[in-house]
């Protein structure tokens, strides 16, 4: 489904007159099968969101390739209607001047897939909300409700691939589990593949089949959820221990 091949990315170092570049992604390669949930786990600043933006085609790699179903994601046509994303900051993801109805309808409108209001209500129902939310604005939603609206919006175009970048990290712990359960259910129902980007190894273990452990812009280890206790890298052990001692 998704192939990331020798991807490198640098950014200019901060500072007005700086000409030096900082290497953010160093020769990243991995592939993902159809209908799986792959986790990308790493500490803050390790380059996860940068990788996410490259996969979504928002930015271009300096070198290397990213293929979705064999085609380069830099072409908008390859991504459209196939990929979608949910980010950490749900308040920035929904325009404050739009109602829930308008927010969910928009991506379908863009692709000419919108027929009637029942579609929006059906999507709300899939994410555990009802018709009473249709005319609400973002400020009238709790964090969990707003993130559910973002999920409904993301799946409205029937994508086969969903990228979730710290999608539950801003939510209260009790709400995190509810949203993870919802994501699990939706994945089964729609046969989607997820790329679940997070610093939270516990959340990743709850939802993912496989993980990539990411450190300083490199994949240091790959493992499946069944073999997580057999990880070899010190860095992965450190991440795991941090969870176990909490």
Ligand X SMILES: Nc1ncnc2c1ncn2[C@@H]1O[C@H](COP(=O)(O)OP(=O)(O)O)[C@@H](O)[C@H]1O
Judged by the rule CB under 6 A, the positions of this chain that interact with ligand X are: 11, 24, 42, 44-50
CB count, 10 Å around CB of 21? 12
Give the Cα separation of 112 and 220 in Å (integer).
Answer: 42
Distance of closest approach, residue 188 Cβ to ligand X, in angstroms: 28
Interface mask toward Mg ion for 140-169; x: CB under 5 A? ------------------------------
Span near Mg ion by CB under 5 A; candidates 19-27, 46-54, 203-211, 233-241: 46-54
Q: Are 212 and 223 in contact (CB under 8 A)?
A: no
Task: HSE, CB side, 13 Å, CA atoms: give it for residue 214.
Answer: 31
- Which among 18-26, 45-53, 72-80, 95-103 is the span making contact with Mg ion, rule CB under 5 A? 45-53
Residue nearer to Mg ion on the CB measure, 49 or 80: 49
140 vs 202: CA distance, rounded Å: 30
Q: Which does 170 bind (CB under 5 to 8 A by kind): Mg ion, ligand X, none?
A: none
Q: How far is the CB of 55 from Mg ion (least distance, A)?
A: 13
The option from ligand X, Mg ion, none interacting with 42 (CB < 5 to 8 A, set by class) reads: ligand X
Q: Can you tell me the distance from the alpha carbon of 112 to that of 105, in angstroms, rounded to the nearest whole number?
A: 10
From the list Mg ion, ligand X, none, pick the one residue 32 interacts with, judged by a Cβ distance below 5 to 8 Å according to partner type.
Answer: none
- C-alpha 158/C-alpha 150 separation (Å) is 14
**Do residues 83 and 1 make contact, with C-beta atoms less than 8 angstroms apart?**
no
Q: In the complex, which residue's CB is closest to Mg ion?
A: 49
- If the CB atoms of residues 63 and 135 are measured against ligand X, the closer one turns out to be 63
- Structure tokens, 69: 């179903």
Rounded to a whole number of angstroms, the minimum distance from the CB of residue 96 to ligand X is: 24
Could you tell me the smallest distance in angstroms from the CB atom of residue 49 to Mg ion?
3
Which residue, among 200, 138, 128, has the nearest Cα to 164 in the 3D structure?
200
Residues numbered 213 to 242 that lie near Mg ion (CB under 5 A) are none
Kindly tell me which residue out of 49, 169, 178, 216 binds Mg ion, with binding defined by CB under 5 A: 49
Handedness of CA 133, 79, 44, 192 (dihedral sign): positive
What residues pair up with 32 in beta bridges, in sequence order? 2
The distance of closest approach from Cβ of residue 166 to Mg ion in the complex, given in angstroms and rounded to an integer, is: 6
Cβ 26 to ligand X shortest distance, Å: 12
* Residue with smaller CB distance to ligand X, 125 or 242: 242
Instruction: Please give the DSSP secondary-structure letter assigned to residue 13.
Output: P
Instruction: Find out whether 213 and 239 touch, Cβ atoms under 8 Å.
Output: yes
3 pairs with which residues across the strands? 31, 67
Pick the closer one to ligand X by CB: 50 or 193: 50
Binding stretches for Mg ion (CB under 5 A): 49
């Amino acid at each position: 489904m998704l192939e990331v091949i020798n991807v490198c990315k640098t950014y200019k170092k901060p500072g007005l007159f700086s000409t030096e570049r900082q290497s953010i992604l160093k020769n990243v390669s991995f592939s993902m099968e159809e209908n799986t949930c792959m986790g990308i786990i790493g500490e803050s600043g390790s380059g996860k969101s940068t990788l996410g933006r490259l996969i979504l085609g928002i930015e271009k790699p300096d070198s290397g390739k990213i293929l979705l179903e064999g085609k380069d994601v830099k072409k908008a046509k390859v991504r459209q209607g196939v990929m979608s994303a949910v980010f950490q900051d749900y308040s920035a993801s929904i325009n404050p001047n739009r109602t829930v109805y308008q927010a969910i309808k928009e991506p379908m409108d863009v692709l000419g897939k919108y027929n009637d209001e029942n579609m929006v209500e059906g999507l709300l129902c899939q994410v555990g909300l009802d018709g009473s939310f249709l005319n609400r604005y973002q400020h009238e939603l709790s964090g969990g409700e707003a993130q559910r609206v973002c999920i409904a919006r993301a799946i409205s175009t029937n994508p086969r691939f969903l990228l979730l970048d710290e999608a539950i990290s801003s939510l209260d712990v009790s709400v995190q589990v509810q949203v993870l359960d919802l994501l699990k259910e939706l994945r089964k129902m729609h046969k989607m593949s997820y790329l679940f980007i997070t610093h939270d190894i516990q959340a990743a273990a709850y939802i993912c089949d496989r993980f990539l452990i990411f450190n300083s812009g490199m994949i240091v280890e790959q493992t499946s959820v069944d073999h997580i206790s057999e990880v070899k890298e010190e860095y992965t052990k450190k991440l795991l221990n941090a969870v176990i001692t909490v």
